[in-house]
Protein backbone atom coordinates (compact mmCIF):
# COMPACT_ATOMS: atom_id res chain seq x y z
CA UNK A 1 0.00 0.00 0.00
CA UNK A 2 1.19 3.49 -0.85
CA UNK A 3 0.21 6.28 1.54
CA UNK A 4 0.63 9.97 0.73
CA UNK A 5 -0.04 12.75 3.22
CA UNK A 6 -0.21 16.46 2.29
CA UNK A 7 0.16 18.85 5.24
CA UNK A 8 1.66 22.20 6.30
CA UNK A 9 3.16 20.39 9.32
CA UNK A 10 5.11 17.37 7.96
CA UNK A 11 6.73 16.89 11.36
CA UNK A 12 3.31 16.00 12.83
CA UNK A 13 3.44 12.76 10.80
CA UNK A 14 6.86 11.66 12.13
CA UNK A 15 5.27 9.12 14.55
CA UNK A 16 4.18 7.08 11.51
CA UNK A 17 7.81 6.05 11.08
CA UNK A 18 8.07 4.69 14.63
CA UNK A 19 7.46 1.19 16.05
CA UNK A 20 5.00 -1.15 14.30
CA UNK A 21 4.23 1.23 11.44
CA UNK A 22 7.91 2.04 11.01
CA UNK A 23 8.65 -1.67 10.72
CA UNK A 24 5.87 -2.09 8.16
CA UNK A 25 7.52 0.64 6.09
CA UNK A 26 11.00 -0.92 6.47
CA UNK A 27 9.52 -4.30 5.48
CA UNK A 28 8.14 -2.73 2.31
CA UNK A 29 4.51 -3.45 3.28
CA UNK A 30 3.78 0.27 3.18
CA UNK A 31 5.33 3.15 1.20
CA UNK A 32 4.80 6.44 3.04
CA UNK A 33 5.40 9.87 1.48
CA UNK A 34 4.69 13.10 3.40
CA UNK A 35 4.44 16.30 1.35
CA UNK A 36 4.61 19.94 2.53
CA UNK A 37 1.62 21.80 1.10
CA UNK A 38 3.68 25.00 0.90
CA UNK A 39 5.68 23.38 -1.90
CA UNK A 40 2.79 24.41 -4.18
CA UNK A 41 2.45 28.03 -3.05
CA UNK A 42 3.54 30.71 -5.53
CA UNK A 43 3.76 33.83 -3.39
CA UNK A 44 6.64 35.04 -1.28
CA UNK A 45 4.59 34.57 1.89
CA UNK A 46 3.66 31.00 0.90
CA UNK A 47 0.06 31.76 1.86
CA UNK A 48 -2.19 28.70 2.14
CA UNK A 49 -5.28 30.34 3.62
CA UNK A 50 -7.55 33.34 3.20
CA UNK A 51 -10.64 34.93 4.76
CA UNK A 52 -13.94 32.99 4.35
CA UNK A 53 -16.52 34.26 1.83
CA UNK A 54 -19.68 35.19 3.70
CA UNK A 55 -17.62 36.31 6.71
CA UNK A 56 -17.27 34.45 9.97
CA UNK A 57 -14.32 33.56 12.18
CA UNK A 58 -11.08 31.95 11.11
CA UNK A 59 -9.55 31.29 7.72
CA UNK A 60 -10.17 28.80 4.91
CA UNK A 61 -7.46 26.97 2.97
CA UNK A 62 -7.12 28.27 -0.60
CA UNK A 63 -8.26 26.03 -3.48
CA UNK A 64 -5.43 26.89 -5.91
CA UNK A 65 -2.67 25.57 -3.63
CA UNK A 66 -4.58 22.40 -2.77
CA UNK A 67 -5.57 21.78 -6.38
CA UNK A 68 -1.97 21.91 -7.57
CA UNK A 69 -0.74 19.84 -4.63
CA UNK A 70 -3.34 17.11 -5.24
CA UNK A 71 -2.63 17.00 -8.99
CA UNK A 72 1.12 16.74 -8.38
CA UNK A 73 0.93 14.08 -5.66
CA UNK A 74 -1.63 11.97 -7.56
CA UNK A 75 0.72 12.02 -10.57
CA UNK A 76 3.55 10.50 -8.51
CA UNK A 77 2.07 7.01 -8.88
CA UNK A 78 -0.23 5.51 -11.47
CA UNK A 79 -2.16 3.48 -8.88
CA UNK A 80 -5.66 4.88 -8.22
CA UNK A 81 -5.85 6.63 -4.84
CA UNK A 82 -8.63 7.01 -2.30
CA UNK A 83 -8.45 10.67 -1.27
CA UNK A 84 -9.26 11.05 2.43
CA UNK A 85 -10.22 14.40 3.95
CA UNK A 86 -10.34 14.36 7.77
CA UNK A 87 -13.05 16.77 8.96
CA UNK A 88 -15.41 17.08 11.93
CA UNK A 89 -18.17 17.23 9.30
CA UNK A 90 -17.28 13.84 7.80
CA UNK A 91 -18.92 10.41 7.85
CA UNK A 92 -17.79 8.34 10.85
CA UNK A 93 -14.51 6.44 10.47
CA UNK A 94 -15.05 3.02 12.04
CA UNK A 95 -13.32 -0.36 12.17
CA UNK A 96 -15.40 -1.28 9.13
CA UNK A 97 -13.91 1.72 7.30
CA UNK A 98 -10.40 0.64 8.27
CA UNK A 99 -11.17 -2.89 7.09
CA UNK A 100 -12.46 -1.60 3.73
CA UNK A 101 -9.53 0.75 3.17
CA UNK A 102 -6.99 -1.96 4.04
CA UNK A 103 -7.77 -3.45 0.62
CA UNK A 104 -6.88 -0.24 -1.22
CA UNK A 105 -3.69 0.08 -3.28
CA UNK A 106 -3.21 3.74 -2.33
CA UNK A 107 -4.50 6.27 0.21
CA UNK A 108 -3.92 10.04 -0.11
CA UNK A 109 -4.66 12.05 3.05
CA UNK A 110 -5.20 15.82 2.86
CA UNK A 111 -4.67 17.57 6.20
CA UNK A 112 -6.78 20.70 6.56
CA UNK A 113 -6.10 23.39 9.14
CA UNK A 114 -8.00 26.51 10.16
CA UNK A 115 -11.71 26.17 9.25
CA UNK A 116 -10.94 23.55 6.63
CA UNK A 117 -10.32 23.46 2.89
CA UNK A 118 -12.33 25.36 0.23
CA UNK A 119 -15.11 22.89 -0.71
CA UNK A 120 -14.35 23.27 -4.42
CA UNK A 121 -11.19 21.19 -3.98
CA UNK A 122 -13.33 18.18 -3.06
CA UNK A 123 -15.96 19.07 -5.68
CA UNK A 124 -13.30 19.32 -8.42
CA UNK A 125 -11.75 15.97 -7.46
CA UNK A 126 -15.14 14.22 -7.40
CA UNK A 127 -16.17 15.57 -10.79
CA UNK A 128 -12.94 14.01 -12.12
CA UNK A 129 -14.20 10.66 -10.89
CA UNK A 130 -11.68 10.53 -8.06
CA UNK A 131 -12.83 8.79 -4.87
CA UNK A 132 -12.96 11.37 -2.08
CA UNK A 133 -14.04 10.37 1.46
CA UNK A 134 -14.66 13.15 3.99
CA UNK A 135 -14.39 11.34 7.34
CA UNK A 136 -14.53 12.11 11.04
CA UNK A 137 -12.75 10.14 13.77
CA UNK A 138 -15.11 11.45 16.45
CA UNK A 139 -17.36 14.27 17.54
CA UNK A 140 -14.79 16.83 18.61
CA UNK A 141 -12.87 19.48 16.75
CA UNK A 142 -9.08 19.34 16.46
CA UNK A 143 -6.84 22.13 15.22
CA UNK A 144 -6.08 20.22 12.02
CA UNK A 145 -6.41 16.87 10.28
CA UNK A 146 -2.90 15.54 11.06
CA UNK A 147 -3.79 13.78 14.32
CA UNK A 148 -6.81 12.18 12.64
CA UNK A 149 -4.47 10.89 9.89
CA UNK A 150 -2.22 9.27 12.52
CA UNK A 151 -5.27 7.49 13.93
CA UNK A 152 -6.61 6.31 10.59
CA UNK A 153 -3.23 5.18 9.20
CA UNK A 154 -2.58 3.08 12.32
CA UNK A 155 -6.07 1.53 12.20
CA UNK A 156 -5.64 0.61 8.51
CA UNK A 157 -1.98 -0.46 8.37
CA UNK A 158 -2.28 -2.85 11.35
CA UNK A 159 -4.79 -4.82 9.23
CA UNK A 160 -2.40 -5.33 6.32
CA UNK A 161 -1.12 -8.90 5.95
CA UNK A 162 2.28 -9.31 7.59
CA UNK A 163 2.10 -6.22 9.77
CA UNK A 164 0.80 -7.76 13.00
CA UNK A 165 2.89 -10.60 14.41
CA UNK A 166 -0.26 -12.49 15.30
CA UNK A 167 -3.12 -11.92 12.80
CA UNK A 168 -5.52 -13.52 15.29
CA UNK A 169 -5.32 -10.40 17.45
CA UNK A 170 -6.82 -8.37 14.59
CA UNK A 171 -9.67 -10.87 14.35
CA UNK A 172 -10.30 -10.69 18.12
CA UNK A 173 -10.25 -6.92 18.22
CA UNK A 174 -12.94 -4.93 19.91
CA UNK A 175 -15.60 -4.29 17.27
CA UNK A 176 -14.53 -7.23 15.12
CA UNK A 177 -17.47 -9.22 16.57
CA UNK A 178 -19.44 -6.08 17.27
CA UNK A 179 -18.71 -6.09 21.00
CA UNK A 180 -16.16 -4.31 23.18
CA UNK A 181 -13.26 -6.43 24.40
CA UNK A 182 -13.52 -7.59 27.99
CA UNK A 183 -10.80 -7.26 30.67
CA UNK A 184 -7.33 -8.80 30.15
CA UNK A 185 -4.93 -10.19 32.76
CA UNK A 186 -1.35 -11.41 32.92
CA UNK A 187 1.12 -12.48 35.66
CA UNK A 188 1.39 -12.22 38.62
CA UNK A 189 -1.60 -14.27 39.77
CA UNK A 190 -2.19 -11.83 42.64
CA UNK A 191 -1.13 -8.18 42.44
CA UNK A 192 -1.71 -5.73 45.30
CA UNK A 193 -4.16 -8.26 46.75
CA UNK A 194 -6.13 -8.48 43.48
CA UNK A 195 -6.37 -11.99 42.03
CA UNK A 196 -6.79 -13.05 38.39
CA UNK A 197 -10.31 -14.57 37.90
CA UNK A 198 -10.02 -18.31 38.62
CA UNK A 199 -11.72 -19.35 35.38
CA UNK A 200 -8.82 -17.91 33.36
CA UNK A 201 -6.41 -20.26 35.12
CA UNK A 202 -8.74 -23.29 34.89
CA UNK A 203 -7.50 -24.54 31.52
CA UNK A 204 -11.15 -25.14 30.62
CA UNK A 205 -11.25 -23.40 27.24
CA UNK A 206 -15.01 -23.63 26.81
CA UNK A 207 -15.59 -22.03 30.21
CA UNK A 208 -12.93 -19.39 29.48
CA UNK A 209 -14.54 -18.52 26.14
CA UNK A 210 -17.96 -18.25 27.82
CA UNK A 211 -16.57 -16.06 30.60
CA UNK A 212 -14.83 -13.75 28.12
CA UNK A 213 -17.98 -13.47 26.01
CA UNK A 214 -20.05 -12.63 29.11
CA UNK A 215 -17.57 -9.94 30.16
CA UNK A 216 -17.66 -8.47 26.63
CA UNK A 217 -21.48 -8.45 26.63
CA UNK A 218 -21.55 -6.91 30.12
CA UNK A 219 -19.06 -4.17 29.18
CA UNK A 220 -20.78 -3.43 25.88
CA UNK A 221 -24.22 -3.20 27.53
CA UNK A 222 -22.82 -0.87 30.18
CA UNK A 223 -20.59 1.37 28.02
CA UNK A 224 -21.93 1.11 24.46
CA UNK A 225 -25.60 0.01 24.40
CA UNK A 226 -25.68 1.45 20.88
CA UNK A 227 -23.35 -1.31 19.69
CA UNK A 228 -25.52 -3.96 21.32
CA UNK A 229 -28.63 -2.55 19.64
CA UNK A 230 -26.82 -2.54 16.27
CA UNK A 231 -25.87 -6.23 16.41
CA UNK A 232 -27.41 -8.35 13.64
CA UNK A 233 -30.27 -10.64 14.76
CA UNK A 234 -28.18 -13.81 14.65
CA UNK A 235 -25.16 -12.32 16.43
CA UNK A 236 -26.31 -13.42 19.90
CA UNK A 237 -26.88 -17.10 20.69
CA UNK A 238 -29.11 -18.45 23.48
CA UNK A 239 -26.24 -18.45 25.98
CA UNK A 240 -25.60 -14.79 25.14
CA UNK A 241 -29.24 -13.91 25.65
CA UNK A 242 -29.27 -15.81 28.96
CA UNK A 243 -26.48 -13.57 30.12
N1 LIG B 1 -13.35 14.39 13.73
C2 LIG B 1 -11.94 14.59 13.92
C3 LIG B 1 -11.45 15.89 13.29
C4 LIG B 1 -10.86 15.89 12.04
C5 LIG B 1 -10.40 17.10 11.51
C6 LIG B 1 -10.57 18.27 12.24
C7 LIG B 1 -10.13 19.57 11.71
C8 LIG B 1 -10.23 20.69 12.52
C9 LIG B 1 -9.84 21.93 12.03
C10 LIG B 1 -9.36 22.06 10.73
C11 LIG B 1 -9.27 20.94 9.92
C12 LIG B 1 -9.65 19.70 10.41
N13 LIG B 1 -11.15 18.24 13.48
C14 LIG B 1 -11.60 17.07 13.97
**What's the ipTM?**
0.95
In angstroms, the CA 163 to CA 128 distance is 33
Question: Domain of 222: which CATH number?
Answer: 1.10.1270.20
In angstroms, the CA 57 to CA 46 distance is 21
In angstroms, the CA 65 to CA 42 distance is 8
Q: Are residues 203 and 134 in the same domain?
A: no
Q: Are residues 80 and 21 in the same domain?
A: yes
CB 68 within 8 A of CB 40: yes
Q: Are residues 89 and 180 in the same domain?
A: no
Q: Are residues 109 and 195 in the same domain?
A: no
Q: How many domains does the chain have?
A: 2
Q: Are residues 139 and 195 in the same domain?
A: no
Q: Are residues 119 and 196 in the same domain?
A: no
Single out the catalytic residue among 36, 115, 154, 181. 115
Q: Output the pTM of the full model.
A: 0.94
Q: What are phi and psi of 134, to 5 degrees?
A: -90, 115
DSSP the chain: -EEEEEES-GGGGGGGGSHHHHHHHHTTS-EEEEEEGGGG--STT---EEPPTT--SS-EE-HHHHHHHHHHHHTT-SS--EEEEEEEEEEEP-HHHHHHHTT-SEEEEE--BTT-B-HHHHHHHHHTT-EEEEEESSSS--SBSHHHHHHHHHHHHTTSTTTSS-HHHHHTSTTTTSS-------S-SEETTEEPPGGGGS--HHHHHHHHHHHHHHHHHHH-HHHHHHS-GGGS-HHHHH-
- For residue range 176-212, what is the model confidence (pLDDT) as tens digits? 789 999 999 999 999 999 999 999 999 999 999 999 9
In angstroms, the CA 231 to CA 217 distance is 11
Q: Are residues 137 and 179 in the same domain?
A: no
Q: Is residue 95 part of a domain?
A: yes
State the pLDDT at residue 243. 82
Where in the sequence is the domain holding 107, given as residue range(s)? 2-157
Q: Are residues 145 and 204 in the same domain?
A: no
Single out the catalytic residue among 10, 52, 63, 88. 88
Q: Are residues 181 and 228 in the same domain?
A: yes
Q: Are residues 234 and 179 in the same domain?
A: yes
Q: Are residues 152 and 190 in the same domain?
A: no
Q: Give the 3-state DSSP-derived string for 63-98, with helices as H, strands as E and coil as C.
A: HHHHHHHHHHHHCCCCCCCEEEEEEEEEEECCHHHH
Residues with CB under 6 A from ligand 1: 86-88, 112-114, 116, 136-138, 141-145, 148
Q: Is residue 164 part of a domain?
A: no
* Mutational pocket test of ligand 1: of 9, 93, 135, 141, the residue with most ligand atoms within 8 Å of the beta carbon: 141
Catalytic site includes residue 158: yes
Q: Which residues of the chain have pLDDT under 50?
A: none
Q: Is residue 55 part of a domain?
A: yes
Q: Which atom of ligand 1 is nearest to the CA of 115?
A: 10
Q: Is residue 73 part of a domain?
A: yes
* Mutational pocket test of ligand 1: of 110, 148, 153, the residue with most ligand atoms within 8 Å of the beta carbon: 148
Torsion 61-21-180-104 (CA) sign? positive
- For residue range 77-90, what is the model confidence (pLDDT) as tens digits? 999 999 999 999 99
Catalytic site includes residue 115: yes
Question: Domain of 19: which CATH number?
Answer: 3.40.1280.10
Catalytic site includes residue 80: no
Amino acid sequence: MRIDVITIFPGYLAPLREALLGRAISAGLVDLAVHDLRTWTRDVHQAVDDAPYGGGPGMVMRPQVWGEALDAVLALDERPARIVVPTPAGRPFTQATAQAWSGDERLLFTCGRYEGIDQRVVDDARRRDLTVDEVSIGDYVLVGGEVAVLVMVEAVVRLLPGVLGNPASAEQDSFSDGLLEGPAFTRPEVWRGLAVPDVLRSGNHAKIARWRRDRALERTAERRPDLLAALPEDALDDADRAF
